[in-house]
């Protein structure tokens, strides 16, 4: 197995010998402290065992009989353990026949800490095949994957403790390659990826790729050492700006390994560090628990929707258990798209929205479906054409055009469009005065009209009470046939303008309003409203 040594053979042997004999570190942690990298970590368990035996005998002199450090162990002194005191057994997770089985409380704590409803699967058989089987159960279609690894923060504290111990050793210190474990010791996650990555890729008939959509999560939990890193952040165990998620009160997982934690450990003076942490650390009573889950990164499908009928809400509209509206745009889009992707859930995002009683005409409103954990590959273009045809021919009143896969950056266009786009409307109004040529002239001559709109009464229960300044760029009007008070009003406005309130004034909350421009004493009424166009480039 080829690898590139980053230290001389004698340096590697000496450091490893000290770690094996005195600290009882695992073979792979010995290699990490010697600065080794690459495929050497993928050596199977028998080879690692042989390496430890060889290293223990390397200095076959009086030093070779130096006893391991065991005094002061937190667990029973008679307990035998093979778990590495540095990595807590993380690098040994595939080297024995069985792994510790977590209690339901530990599993619940891991699930709670992830903040994601998709369950974690405990790995209790020490084999690559066990991890591969857990991944296969999710039934994803994929060609590549990447390991997303979460480690206990205590592994970084223990690594720093071993570093201090080696620096104290007058014989070992000159053999250390540099000044900091974060620089000179091979990263634990990197070593674990070499240990598991390629064997797992062979089991899954796949390949590793940091940009892969499928992320195989591996979480290592070790509640027994959960509090070991808290001292680094003062009396407040959460630390300034920390985002620590807790499980049930009786099971704490502690901080996860991070750059911030490693930097805090490296900055602390050795004397102060030694007051909080045993140097070198003691072997744990048992290794870390291992959990796995497979999850695809979110994928996106976008296009333009048209709403040709009223009484259709934007998303499911339910109040006190009563549904309002016949259906929703979100549900109709999901109905034709999601079965092809076999996902957990989706999020409907659009460039604004119209009220349930307002139609969306013209070329449609831009939207994106953010699709979580799709198990199927993205369908080909002709499949999206078929989805669109299915919806457009259904007669439900919702149509879609330019349905296609889009990337995450498309969400930025949607968000930018909410503030920057312009929209055109057609409002059917009834004026308190007669529609005369003078009235039509006043409307048609109005340009760049600036409105002051206080939050409308109809939405004040869910929006902040503010006064919003919006602009109507242009207006035009035509009479309604056979109705002397009827008016068809076309407007082009700034995004976010409340058109209904401009027409009827909302009891004076919008100024100026239609009647005030025309010199009428009573407010106008709005009978129907349609969005004619959302003016923005999208897909």
**DSSP string covering 260-285, please?**
HHHHHHHHS-HHHHHHHS-SSPPPPS
Distance of CA 82 to the CA centre of its chain: 36
Task: Give the tokens for residue 382.
Answer: 């002709």
- Residue 282 CA to residue 28 CA, distance in Å, equals 17
How crowded is residue 480: how many other Cβ atoms within 10 Å of its Cβ? Answer: 16
Residue 371's H or E segment, with its range, is strand 359-372
Q: Do β-strands 207-208 and 144-150 pair in parallel, antiparallel, or remain unpaired?
A: parallel
The 8-class DSSP code of residue 378 comes to: P
Token pair of 34, please?
């010697």
Phi, psi for 335 (deg, rounded to 5): -60, -35
Q: Which residue has 């045809």 as its token pair?
A: 389
Indicate if 209 belongs to the active site: no
How big is the chain by its Cα radius of gyration, in Å?
33
* Cβ contact 28:48 at 8 Å: yes
CA angle 479, 480, 485 (to 5 degrees): 80
Cα separation, 178 vs 64, in Å, equals: 26
Rounded Cα distance, 191 and 93, in Å: 12
Compute the distance between CA of residue 368 and CA of residue 300 in angstroms, rounded to an integer: 7
Instruction: Give the Cα separation of 86 and 283 in Å (integer).
Output: 8
DSSP label at 379? P
Report d(CA 205, CA 200) in Å as an integer.
8
- Are 517 and 446 contacting, i.e. CB atoms less than 8 angstroms apart? yes
Catalytic option among 211, 355, 385, 528: 355
Instruction: Provide the 8-state DSSP code for 19.
Output: I
Residue 527's SS3 state is: strand
Active-site residues: which are they? 355
């Amino acid at each position: 197995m080829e690898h590139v040594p980053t230290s001389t053979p004698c340096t590697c042997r000496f450091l490893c010998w000290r770690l094996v004999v005195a600290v009882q570190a695992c073979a792979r942690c010995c290699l990490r402290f010697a600065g080794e990298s690459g495929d050497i970590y993928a050596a199977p368990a028998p080879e690692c065992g042989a390496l430890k035996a060889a290293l223990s005998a390397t200095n076959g002199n009086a030093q070779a009989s130096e006893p391991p450090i065991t005094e002061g162990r937190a667990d029973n002194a008679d307990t035998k353990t093979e778990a590495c005191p540095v990595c807590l057994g993380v690098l040994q997770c595939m080297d024995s026949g069985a792994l510790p089985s977590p209690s339901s409380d530990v599993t619940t704590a891991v699930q709670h800490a992830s903040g994601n409803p998709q369950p974690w699967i405990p790995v209790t058989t020490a084999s690559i095949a066990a991890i591969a089987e857990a991944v296969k159960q999710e039934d994803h279609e994929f060609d590549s994957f990447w390991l997303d690894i979460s480690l206990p923060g205590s592994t970084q504290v223990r690594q720093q403790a071993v570093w201090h111990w080696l620096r104290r050793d007058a014989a070992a210190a000159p053999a250390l390659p540099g000044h900091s474990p974060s620089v000179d010791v091979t990263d634990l996650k990197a070593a674990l990826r070499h240990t598991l990555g390629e064997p797992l890729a062979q089991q899954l008939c796949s390949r590793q790729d940091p940009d892969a959509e499928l992320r195989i999560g591996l979480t290592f939990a070790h509640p027994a050492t959960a509090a070991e890193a808290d001292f680094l952040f003062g009396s407040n165990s959460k630390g300034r700006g920390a985002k620590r998620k807790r499980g049930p009160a009786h099971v704490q997982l502690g901080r996860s390994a991070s750059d911030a934690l490693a930097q805090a450990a490296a900055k602390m003076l050795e004397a102060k560090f030694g007051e909080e942490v045993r140097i070198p650390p003691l072997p744990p009573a048992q290794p870390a628990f291992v959990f796995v889950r497979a999850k695809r990164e979110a994928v996106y499908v976008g296009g333009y929707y048209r709403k040709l009928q009223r009484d259709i809400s934007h998303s499911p509209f339910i109040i006190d258990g009563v549904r309002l509206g016949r259906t929703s745009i979100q549900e109709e889009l999901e109905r034709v798209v999601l079965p092809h992707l076999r996902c957990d859930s989706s999020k409907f995002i659009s460039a604004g929205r119209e009220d349930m009683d307002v139609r969306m005409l013209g070329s449609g409103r831009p939207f994106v479906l953010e699709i979580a954990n799709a198990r199927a590959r993205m369908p080909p273009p002709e499949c999206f054409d078929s989805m669109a045809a299915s919806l457009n021919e259904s007669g439900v009143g919702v149509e879609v055009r330019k349905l296609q896969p889009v990337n995450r950056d498309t969400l930025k266009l949607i968000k930018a469009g909410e503030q920057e786009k312009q929209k055109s409307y057609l409002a059917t109004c009834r004026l308190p005065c007669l529609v005369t040529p003078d009235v039509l002239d006043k409307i048609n001559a109005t340009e760049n009209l600036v409105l002051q709109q206080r939050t409308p009464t109809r939405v004040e229960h869910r929006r902040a009470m503010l006064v919003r300044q919006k602009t109507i760029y242009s207006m035009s009007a035509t009479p309604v046939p056979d109705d002397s008070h009827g008016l068809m009003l076309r407007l082009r406005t700034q995004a976010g303008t409340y058109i209904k309130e401009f027409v009827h004034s909302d009891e004076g909350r919008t100024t100026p309003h239609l009647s005030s421009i025309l010199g009428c004493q009573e407010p106008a009424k709005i009978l129907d409203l349609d969005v004619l166009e959302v003016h923005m480039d999208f897909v």
